[in-house]
Amino acid sequence: MATTTVHQTKWWSGGKSPFNMEYGKLMMWYFLMSDAFTFGAFLISYGSIRFSQNFWPDPNVVFNAFPGAGHANLPLAFVSVMTFILIISSVTMVLAVHAGHKGDKEGVIKWMFWTIIGGLAFLGCQAWEWHHLITGEHAVLVDGKIDLIGQTMGGNPWGDLVEDNTALTAALNNTSHETLVHLAHEYPTGGTVVAMEALEKMSDGQLAGMVDITHAHIRETGPIAFGGYFYGITGFHGFHVFSGVVINIIMLIMTQKDVFKNRGHYLMIEKAGLYWHFVDLVWVFVFLCFYLI
């Protein structure tokens, strides 16, 4: 925008937008501002709870899985894939908006399509991650016995590592048969894996002797709010991604049907774009708060 015009125009004198911006885009900006406070409040509450705890799980320990990689310890790998998916989908969105400015219908369709694919890919990744965290059970020392629990809204297996081996050995005596079978299968003394069927027939006492307690990485339970905030905030973000995808699909159909072409401008694409970039922006902060620090 030429700076000379900016200085000559009396922007605030009425009869025109002081920001040279149509009302719809302005409303979108202020809506996003408001939404930023919703997310801000979530993340700040998370911070407040985290600071009120003596212990908080290290994200690198929690988020270390990768689809198809089994038990390999790959901290941050999967989430970086998710982050790049969102960044790339933001870029395709920018290109769609740019094509819209030029009135290039085919360009808009092409880039919107890729943006939608990016959004769906992200949602797929998130679904996998949630599924992995909820169903992936970990051995935890609770009330003098060992339990297998996943990361849920009300339970957190990511407490401090228990290094007191006598306490753990004692806990094995109170542990359920099922859990013992699992532990003896996963962490056998001497490293020789025994078949599940054989283990299931053994007595609790035998099984307890077969568990290599130092390799099992048994932890205490962690702060419950960890899971609540993780699922709550990433879920709320995922809901935004989902609604963004829905909006983008609607925009794609409208473009296809020449709605914007007949209207003479593709400004709706720009507003959808603002929303989409905001979703990306929020992820940058979710990524920071949950995965990096």
Partner 1 sequence: MSEVLNVQQGMAAGAVHHDGHHHHETFVSKYIFSQDHKTIAKQFLITGIIWAIIGGLFSVLFRLQLGYPEQSFPILETFFGNWAKGGQIQPEFYYALVTMHGTVLVFFVLTAGLSGTFANFLIPLQVGARDMASPFLNMLSYWFFFLASVIMLSSLFISTGPASGGWTIYPPLSALGEASSGSKLGMDFWLVSMAMFIVSSLLGGINYISTILNLRTKGMSMTRLPLTIWALFFTAVLGVLSFPVLLSGAILLLFDRNLGTSFFLSDIVVNGQILPNEGGSAILFQHLFWFLGHPEVYIILLPAMGMVSEILSVNSRKPIFGYMAMLGSLFAITILAFLVWAHHMFVTGLNPFLGSIFVLLTLLIAVPSAIKVFNWLTTLWRGNIRFTPATLFAIGFVSLFISGGLTGIFLGNSTIDIHLHDTMFVVAHFHIVMGVASMFGMFAGIYHWFPKMFGRYLNNTLGYLHFWVTIIGAYLIFWPMHYQGLAGIPRRYLDKRGWVSFNQFPELDKMITIVSIVVFAVQLMFVFNFIYSIFKGRKVTNKNPWGANTLEWTTPLRPGHGNWEGEIPEVHRWAYDYGKDGREFIPQVEEIGEGESKH
Partner 2 sequence: MQHPAFEEVTVHHHHEDDATFKKKVRKTTILLSIITIIELAIGLTIYTIHKGESPNALLVLMFKGAVCILTLAKAYYIVSVFMHLGDEIRNMIMTIVVPLMLFVWFIIAFIADGNSYKNLRNTYDKHFEETTMPAKHHKAEAAPVENKGGKE
Q: Contact residues for partner 1 (CB under 8 A)?
A: 10, 12-15, 17-19, 21-24, 26-27, 30-31, 33-35, 37-38, 40-42, 45, 48-49, 52-53, 152-154, 223-225, 227-229, 232, 236
Q: How far are the Cα atoms of 30, 66, 162, 290 from residue 166, in angstroms, in the given order?
A: 59, 34, 10, 34
258 binds partner 2 (CB under 8 A): no
Binding partner selected for residue 59 from partner 1, partner 2, none, CB under the kind-specific 5 to 8 Å limit: partner 2
Q: Work out whether 259 is an interface residue with partner 2 (CB under 8 A).
A: no
Q: Output DSSP code: residue 21.
A: -
The entry of partner 2, partner 1, none near residue 113 (CB within 5 to 8 angstroms by kind) is none
* Minimum distance, C-beta of residue 159 to partner 1, in the bound complex (Å): 11
- Taking a C-beta distance cutoff of 8 angstroms, is the pair 200, 179 a contact? no
Q: How many angstroms separate the CA atoms of 92 and 101, rounded?
A: 14
- The answer to whether 159 and 57 are in contact (CB under 8 A) is yes
Write the DSSP symbol of residue 248: H
Which of residues 19 and 203 has its CB atom nearest to partner 2 in the complex? 19
**57, amino acid identity:** P
Find which of partner 2, partner 1, none residue 81 binds, CB within 5 to 8 Å per kind. Answer: none
Structure tokens at 121: 């890919």
Query: Which residue among 83, 115, 248, 255 contacts partner 2 (CB under 8 A)?
Result: 83
Please say which residue, 56 or 231, places its beta carbon nearer to partner 2. 56
Output the CA torsion sign for 82, 64, 186, 177. negative
